[in-house]
A = this chain, B = another copy of it.
Amino acid sequence: MKELVGRPGSGSGLVLRLGQVSCAAASIGIMVSANGFATFTAFCYLIASMGLQVLWSFGLACLDVYALRRKRDLQNPILVSLFVVGDWVTATLSLAAASSSAGIVILYARDMDFCTLQFHLPCSKFQISVALAFLTWALIALSSHVMFWILLNSV
């Protein structure tokens, strides 16, 4: 179980964290570049949630770099419990943010057909940003499950 892909303090763990940081940062960047995003509460919440995700994942990526350089083992139960709780909280917030934004995007693009009727709406940017938010959630859910398995096998 020590060799689980994506475990903390490993190369694959670092890649997973950097993937989360880059997807969340890209989601924020694309949303911020879309005109009029600030009129939608859900899109502002998406930015806040992805911002928190960037901070959390970047912090853990730095910890992974430290562990890799100093060859430290990060797999003690207390530290892994902290990672599980943090991953669970950020995953929940990310899923809620991505889903609420997706609700609006589907309403505009499919239900109301506003995206073809109102050309000034940057619908494609909204869609890409939401898709990246879901990708971020999938990556953080993966991390969360890896931590859960490590915790299960370390108690």
Spell out A's residues near B (CB within 8 Å). 39-42, 92, 95-97, 99-104, 106-107, 110-111, 148, 151-153, 155
Contact = CB atoms under 8 A, between A and B. Distances in A.
Nearest to A46: B103
Given A152-B152, A155-B152, A103 B111 contact: no
A40 B111 contact: yes
Contacts of A42: 103, 106-107
A59 to B, nearest CB: 24
Nearest to A41: B106
B95 A41 contact: no
Contacts of A92: 95
A4 to B, nearest CB: 16
A39 B113 CA distance: 12
A95 to B, nearest CB: 6
25 contacts: A39-B111, A40-B111, A41-B111, A42-B103, A42-B106, A42-B107, A92-B95, A95-B95, A95-B96, A95-B99, A96-B99, A97-B99, A99-B100, A99-B103, A100-B100, A100-B102, A100-B103, A100-B106, A102-B103, A103-B103, A103-B104, A104-B104, A104-B107, A148-B148, A152-B155
